[in-house]
Amino acid sequence: MPKTDDEKGYVDVVNGRYKPRGTFHVIEKNQPIFNKDTGKLAGVTNPRDMTYIHSYGGEAIFFESLGKGKLMASRCDNEKCDSKGSIFEPFRIYCPDCLRKAKPVDITEKARKTAKIHSFIITERSGAFNTLPKPIKFVNVEFDEEVVTILMSVLSVGEPEIGKKIIPIFRTKSPTYTIMDLMFVAEGTKESDLPDGFTF
């Protein structure tokens, strides 16, 4: 059953510290497990419901930007690094080659112009907690040669094909501030065909 607002945990940062409020652990009665053939006790269930506080740290800008319709990546600008000018998407806080802080860069336009399917997997059966419509079309997204990494995402509208041009879409209405705010659609998809809450 969905939780009421009183049963949810909330966190703010005040004076540089987490200030949790609400409920972070919901207690629920366990259930016995009986062997139907022998009538004997075999075990118990252990219901667990807890709210985990996940810190984004230096990646926060990436997740905050999705809800504003922007795709942020990061770039190594270190003159002494062999990877100088390399753009990382997924966003990396640090350059893996020189270990210096990488600079956040907006690649929304680059993604609109150059994103294409490098490879893909179609999943008919998913694990627990899946909220994506099935079959899920997972795509490995390739950008232009400045971007030296491949991004894993989901193709929401259209059929995947290697090399196909795709366009990013963003959950700008009621963002979740998670990777669920970013998906891709085939080039030429109409705005009216986007999933609820998403815009180009």
Enumerate binding residues for Zn ion (CB under 5 A).
76, 78, 81, 83, 95, 97-98
Contact between residue 186 and residue 157 where contact means Cβ atoms under 8 Å apart: yes
The least CB distance from residue 83 to Zn ion, in Å, is 4
| C-alpha span between 44 and 91 (Å, rounded) | 43
Which residue number, 83 or 140, has a Cβ lying nearer to Zn ion? 83
The least CB distance from residue 103 to Zn ion, in Å, is 10
Q: What DSSP line would sit under 3-71, residue for residue?
A: PPGGGSEEEEEETTEEEEEE-SB------EEE-TTT--EEEE-----B------GGGHHHHHHHTTT--
The least CB distance from residue 98 to Zn ion, in Å, is 3
Which residue number, 21 or 103, has a Cβ lying nearer to Zn ion? 103
Contact between residue 122 and residue 139 where contact means Cβ atoms under 8 Å apart: no
Which residue number, 75 or 137, has a Cβ lying nearer to Zn ion? 75
Which residue number, 49 or 97, has a Cβ lying nearer to Zn ion? 97
Which residue number, 76 or 107, has a Cβ lying nearer to Zn ion? 76
The residues facing 33 across adjacent strands are 43
Contact between residue 152 and residue 140 where contact means Cβ atoms under 8 Å apart: yes
The least CB distance from residue 82 to Zn ion, in Å, is 8
Token pair belonging to 175? 């963002």
Which residues have C-beta within 8 Å of that of residue 181, sequence separation ≥ 6? 63, 66, 67, 170, 171, 175
| C-alpha span between 21 and 126 (Å, rounded) | 33
The least CB distance from residue 16 to Zn ion, in Å, is 29
Which residue number, 68 or 103, has a Cβ lying nearer to Zn ion? 103
The least CB distance from residue 57 to Zn ion, in Å, is 19
